[in-house]
Amino acid sequence: MSHEGRPAERLERGYTNAVLAAGAVPLVLPSLGPPDAEEVMSVLDGLLLSGGGDVAASWYGQVRAPEAYGVDTCRDAWEVALVRTARATGVPVLGVCRGAQVVNVAAGGTLVQHLPAITDHPHREYERDRELVHTVDVDPDSVLARVTGQRSFGVNSLHHQAIAEVGPSLRAVAWAPDGIIEAVESRRDHEPLLAVQWHPELLADQVPHGLLFTWLARAAADHRGAMASARAQS
């Protein structure tokens, strides 16, 4: 994004507040270059990908739709590199809204570029950002179901793009009433990766949304402990 015509980074405090409430310490990263991803991820215990503008359609082999906005190709390349590095090194990942889309694109999936073109269901309710706009149905045999303890619950909805074809290493685990994918997780056994289309940071004081950040904090602590143990044995 830009501020007064100059490139700028922006992160709503809901994310950092939710991470702190879960017992972890947030570190906000600027957009760097893909070659920096390995070094940066080597000092992190977990990765939270936030919302934001649309992912460039070129990442998944499409022409940009006229409704696309907020595209930042530098941020796209940086976050795709972070996701791929995190997955290669076992760092836990939680993707939120755009973050879920980045996770899917990094895994070789595609996106719906403008939901109103394919569904009349409300998905972009900005004025109700802290309200439950619709329900999601959760696969009972999923990490998401185990983390939340629920098979159906209400979510807010602030997006006009969504996951279309799921990346081969991921699987869809939650859906809106119109069938739009609302969450994905890894197909790989024991890989700590969750990605949701709604904004749990704005509902973090409610169950089950705060539990997503608790999951990330605990998974990050487990990863940190495993890395410390490996270093001690080397």
Catalytic residue from among 123, 160, 199, 223: 199
Q: Which of 160, 182, 201, 223 is catalytic?
A: 201
pLDDT band at residue 234 under the 50/70/90 scheme: confident
Amino acid present at 184? V
Please give the residue that has the higher pLDDT: either 13 or 4.
Answer: 13
Q: In 3-state terms, what secondary structure has residue 101? A: helix
Give the C-alpha separation, 234 to 86, whole Å: 22
pLDDT at 10: 85
How many residues are there in the chain? 234
Q: Give the residue among 40, 149, 130 at the shortest CA–CA distance from 84.
A: 40
Both tokens assigned to 104: 């899917």
| Whole-number pLDDT of residue 4 | 62
Cα–Cα distances in angstroms (integers) from residue 184 to residues 35, 162, 167, 192, 228, in the given order: 27, 11, 9, 12, 29
Cβ atoms of 163 and 184 closer than 8 Å: yes
Give the per-residue pLDDT at 5. Answer: 65
Q: Is residue 201 annotated as a catalytic residue, yes or no?
A: yes
* Spatial separation of the C-alpha atoms in residues 97 and 24, rounded to whole Å: 21
Residue 6 has pLDDT above 80, yes or no: no
Q: What is the reported pLDDT for 3? A: 57
Please identify which of the residues 79, 97, 159, 209 carries the catalytic annotation: 97
Over 80: is that where the pLDDT of 184 sits?
yes
**23-45 average pLDDT score:** 97
Strand, helix or coil at 195?
A: strand
74 given a catalytic annotation: no
The CATH label, of 3.90.70.10, 3.40.50.300, 3.40.50.880, 3.40.50.720, for the domain at 2-229 is: 3.40.50.880
Catalytic (active site) residue 114: no
What is the per-residue pLDDT for 135? 98
> Where exactly are the structural domains of the chain?
2-229
pLDDT tier for residue 8 given thresholds of 50, 70 and 90: confident
pTM for this one?
A: 0.96
